[in-house]
Amino acid sequence: MFKALVITKPETGYRCDLTELDEAQLPASGDVTVRVAYSTLNYKDGLAITGKSPVVRSFPMVPGIDFAGSVTQSDHPKWKVGDRVLLNGFGVGETHWGGLAQMARVKGDWLVALPEMLSERDAMAVGTAGYTAMLCVMALQRHWLEAGVAPGSGEVLVTGANGGVGSVAISLLAGLGHTVVASTGRPQEADYLKSLGAATVIDRSELSAPGKPLQKERWIGVVDSVGSHTLANACASTRYGGAVAACGLAQGMDLPASVAPFILRGVTLYGVDSVMAPMARREAAWETLAKTLNRTRLAAITTEIGLAEAIASASDILAGRVRGRLVVDVNC
């Protein structure tokens, strides 16, 4: 028997409960069984647990879009018992049972070998949010390399700065020598954001309202996890030849923007998907994270909770009351 969060949709309504399951109940479609050490609570997990958005596609469902642990059984040629692995995305926690449980059975093709320099807890302190931030930074780096843009040659904007993606993006970009401007709805967190490497902190209200289609040039790059008017304004104020990496929709799925920045300033908008990203890109992102991420800053953005606390914390993350990353010790 093992503990798990389970989402059901009975006639009385949508609910998520902490319960016990038998290993025989794990999905038959997986070929690798993993004893989970740590998972995380991401924005998408918050939506799944609360039912605020139709993230979950089948019931019952164990939520949790990522996890780290050790292989206990494998019918996959790549993995053997004792291998340390992690998983992000691939519909886990949405269409396939996920990581907010002490056991998981998944397809071996979805797993990434946990880099030697990372513990299971550190990997989940990074989690899908940090891995997504790394994919965004990698997209900007490829663009800057081609354009000949050097670190320190201009400001880089990070929106949703207090969230998981934003916090890790600030640390990564500052570590690479860039001047980071953090946009947040919690200006009282300015000292925290500066401790991660932000040079300047601005209020999100400067970007969140409808704006002009073309604005004063400011950013050489943007990491945006907010969407809607914030993303539109970020594009409108990106410098000639700059780039924007978009990965989230906290403000909304819409993009009330103009084509002006793209055809008059040559701005490039990169859509960053972490769920179905190719394995080679995933492995490169995790290897880079293991080598470059500042562990002190990682600790500063991380709060650990137990599995039972994840249900209540889901509402907090949707309400913007969570700073940085929530690591879930599934065995606590």
CB proximity list for 135: less than 8 A, separation 6 or greater: 245, 247, 272, 274, 277, 281, 285
Give residue 293's pLDDT band: very low, low, confident or very high (50, 70, 90): confident
Q: What is the pLDDT of residues 88-97, one digit of tens each?
A: 999 999 999 9
Determine the pLDDT at residue 171: 94
Q: What is the pLDDT of residues 228-258, one digit of tens each?
A: 999 999 999 999 999 999 999 999 999 999 9
Determine the length of the chain: 332
Cα distance between residue 277 and residue 274, in whole Å: 5
Domains in the chain, ordered, with CATH? 2-114+301-329 (3.90.180.10), 127-271 (3.40.50.720)
Determine the pLDDT at residue 324: 86
Query: For the whole model, what pTM was predicted?
Result: 0.92
Cα distance between residue 106 and residue 90, in whole Å: 10
- Average pLDDT (48-68) is 95
- Average pLDDT (12-25) is 94
Phi and psi at 82, nearest 5°, equal 100, -15
- First-to-last C-alpha distance (Å) of the chain: 15
Determine the pLDDT at residue 138: 97
- Average pLDDT (208-230) is 98
Best CA proximity match to 307, nearest among 326, 321, 280, 287: 326
- Average pLDDT (104-126) is 96
Q: With a cut of 90, say whether residue 323 has pLDDT above it.
A: no
- Average pLDDT (41-67) is 94
- Average pLDDT (50-76) is 96
Q: With a cut of 90, say whether residue 11 has pLDDT above it.
A: no
Q: With a cut of 90, say whether residue 12 has pLDDT above it.
A: no
